[in-house]
């Protein structure tokens, strides 16, 4: 069981690195957005009015950066900072119209493999390696079913989550082949 402790320490160290990278990128984008806004307020809002005889000439300074650009940088920076704060709590990644990844499937698979192996670390790893592709196939199939309108209307909608009984069946099949 000493191997599992090293794995969790390594994962924690990797998570800290990811959080630092996300936070750094978020701060850079947020700072750049604030800089652009300040630049627009300070230098691009100037105009010079010159009166020559009966004619008044107004000379405006260069235009400010578009508001959508400034807001985009600020929003992306805030989003990355929020992701940095909560990245260790994320259990599902979903992009509308594209797909999703349910990270809970991996946790459920690891727990079922450990239970089936009876605490033997090496056997747990072997069961996990054999069962993981099958669980991924079921998750992908469930996600594709979720995108099929006829199944949605028939109340057969499923997301990428694999049911615990399916994980148990897959783990049992994997353990039987060892």
In a shared domain, residues 141 and 174? yes
Tell which of 90, 122, 156 closes a domain.
Answer: 90
Instruction: Report the alpha-carbon distance of residue 162 to residue 167 in Å, rounded.
Output: 7
In a shared domain, residues 77 and 148? no
Look at the chain and count its residues.
178
**H-helix segments, 43-120:** 67-86, 104-117
Give pLDDT tens digits for 81-128: 988 888 777 666 665 665 566 667 778 888 889 998 888 889 998 998
In a shared domain, residues 15 and 77? yes
**Domain count of the fold of the chain:** 2
- Looking at residue 19, its pLDDT comes to 87
Instruction: Report the alpha-carbon distance of residue 68 to residue 63 in Å, rounded.
Output: 14
Tell which of 69, 90, 111 closes a domain.
Answer: 90
Residue tagged 């990270």 (tokens): 103
Q: Does the pLDDT of residue 33 top 90, yes or no?
A: yes
At 156, is the pLDDT very low, low, confident or very high (cuts 50, 70, 90)? very low
Domain of 20 in residue numbering reads as: 1-90
Q: Which helix (DSSP H) or strand (DSSP E) does residue 172 occupy? A: helix 164-176
């Amino acid at each position: 069981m000493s191997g599992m402790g090293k794995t969790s320490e390594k994962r924690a160290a990797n998570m800290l690195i990811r959080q630092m990278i996300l936070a750094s990128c978020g701060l850079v984008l947020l700072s750049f957005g604030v800089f652009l806004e300040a630049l627009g307020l300070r230098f691009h809002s100037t105009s010079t009015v010159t009166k020559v005889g009966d004619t008044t000439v107004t000379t405006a300074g260069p235009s400010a950066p578009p508001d959508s650009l400034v807001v985009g940088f600020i929003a992306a920076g805030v989003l990355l900072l929020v992701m940095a704060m909560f990245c260790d709590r994320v259990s599902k990644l979903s992009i509308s119209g594209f797909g999703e990844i349910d990270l809970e499937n991996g946790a459920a698979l690891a727990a079922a493999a450990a239970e089936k192996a009876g605490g033997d670390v090496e056997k747990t790893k072997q069961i996990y390696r054999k069962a993981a592709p099958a669980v991924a196939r079921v998750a992908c199939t469930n996600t594709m079913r979720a995108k099929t309108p006829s199944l949605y209307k028939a109340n057969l909608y499923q997301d990428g989550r694999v049911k615990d009984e399916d994980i148990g069946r897959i783990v049992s099949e994997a353990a039987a082949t060892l």
